[in-house]
């Protein structure tokens, strides 16, 4: 059952597959639980969301005070089969049956892995997403992708699985440090770069970050951009690949940063670096005008972490990129821009061109 849109408390996107609610949690989740009976509720959290977000959820939705709490270690390095086994074991030990509900309370790691565990536990139980980071709210909330990392390669094991609903409450953004906010804004900038030039100007006006009073409106607009793309290509056969802009090189840098002797990057931080590098390739291969290149980079520099890469790091990054799931027939594929707002998918690039792009990226840190 859908909950009507209420402009005073937030927005509701009644997608054909599932609803996305943006606004105060209390009435919306209580209504959902009352109208969707389950044999038991379980809440997946990590150490951070258990401390900062779970009390907010349980205060607003008292019905969840008796839910089973599944706690996992935070961070991308734990998005793997070992952690999935911990989640599945908890569910089995607590007799979760096929009518149980899993509530994923956290950022992208929690949403990806919790969705994957729910989609595979007893061949599938219902789950809802409550994304608590800006990145997860504007990106993972739409698209139905779930999965884990395997063999050092991001999201190499996974599936498409729709949640029963998504609940987005900007109240959780108050718990985030600034790097997490900037990480989420990177995905919002990506949506603007591939589809909506006007939105890029609006985001640029917010940087450096000032107190924002209407996150609901910003999140809603960014989700709409993504949804229009996903709706046209739900299983990423063609135009949905536009959303991969910045991700081919970004995932390579992110995987490199997760090596034991490196400094881990947030996903949005890595994508910011990847977008800068792929903008270079966009000018080189798709003739992105220099003026637009500079405009985009001016925005991204306000989001990018300082992360210089040494030349001897490139081969490892290239190995990660070579294993990217977007590649086909031995070709490394990127999404590149010919104009801000116009993206082209499956653009083949060479290792030499990626090296040039990494050199271009590094020039901002020297």
Asked if omega into 208 is within 30° of 0 (cis), the reply is yes
E strands, the chain, are 10-14, 19-23, 41-46, 68-72, 101-106, 126-131, 145-150, 153-160, 165-168, 332-339, 342-349
Q: Is the separation of the CB atoms in 104 and 111 below 8 Å?
A: yes
In the three-class reduction of DSSP (H, G, I as helix; E, B as strand; rest coil), residue 335 is classed as strand
- Between CA 348 and CA 362 the distance in angstroms is 22
Show which residues are catalytic.
123, 145, 187, 226, 236, 240, 244, 247, 251, 267
Q: What are phi and psi of 14, to 5 degrees?
A: -85, 75
343 half-sphere exposure, CB direction, 13 A CA radius: 26
- Between CA 287 and CA 263 the distance in angstroms is 34
- Between CA 82 and CA 69 the distance in angstroms is 18
- What percent of the residues of the chain are helix, what percent strand, and what percent coil, each to the nearest 5? 55, 20, 30
Distance of CA 113 to the CA centre of its chain: 12
């Amino acid at each position: 059952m859908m909950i009507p849109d209420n402009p005073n408390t937030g927005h509701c996107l009644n997608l054909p597959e599932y609803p996305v609610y943006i606004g105060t949690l209390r009435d919306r989740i209580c209504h959902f639980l009352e109208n969707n009976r389950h044999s038991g509720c379980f809440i997946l959290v990590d150490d951070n969301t258990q401390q900062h977000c779970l009390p907010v959820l349980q205060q607003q939705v008292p019905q969840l005070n008796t839910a089973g709490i599944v706690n996992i270690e935070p961070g991308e390095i734990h998005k793997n089969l070992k952690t999935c086994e911990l989640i599945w074991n908890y569910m089995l030990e607590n007799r979760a049956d096929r009518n149980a509900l899993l509530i994923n309370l956290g950022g992208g790691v929690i949403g990806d892995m919790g969705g994957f565990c729910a989609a595979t536990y007893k061949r599938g139980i219902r789950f809802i997403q409550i994304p608590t980071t800006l990145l997860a709210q504007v990106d993972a909330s739409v698209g139905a992708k779930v999965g884990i990392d395997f063999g050092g390669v991001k999201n190499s094991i996974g599936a498409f699985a729709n949640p029963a609903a998504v609940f987005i409450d900007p109240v959780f953004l108050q718990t985030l440090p600034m790097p997490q906010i900037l990480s989420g804004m990177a995905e919002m900038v990506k949506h603007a770069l591939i589809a909506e030039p006007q939105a890029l100007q609006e985001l640029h006006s917010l940087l450096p970050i000032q107190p924002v009073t209407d996150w609901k409106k910003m999140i809603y607009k960014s989700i709409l951009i993504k949804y229009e793309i996903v709706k046209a290509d739900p299983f990423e056969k063609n135009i949905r690949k536009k959303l991969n802009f910045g991700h081919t090189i970004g995932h390579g840098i992110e995987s490199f940063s997760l090596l034991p002797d490196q400094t881990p990057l947030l996903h949005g931080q890595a994508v910011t670096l990847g977008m800068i590098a792929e903008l270079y390739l966009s000018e080189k291969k798709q003739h992105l005008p220099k003026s637009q290149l500079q405009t985009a980079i001016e925005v991204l520099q306000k989001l990018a972490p300082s992360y210089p890469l040494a030349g001897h790091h490139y081969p490892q990054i290239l190995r990660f990129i070579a294993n990217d799931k977007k590649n086909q027939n031995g070709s490394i594929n990127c999404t590149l821009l010919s104009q801000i707002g116009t993206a082209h998918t499956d653009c083949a690039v060479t290792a030499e061109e990626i090296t040039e792009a990494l050199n271009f990226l590094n020039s901002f840190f020297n």
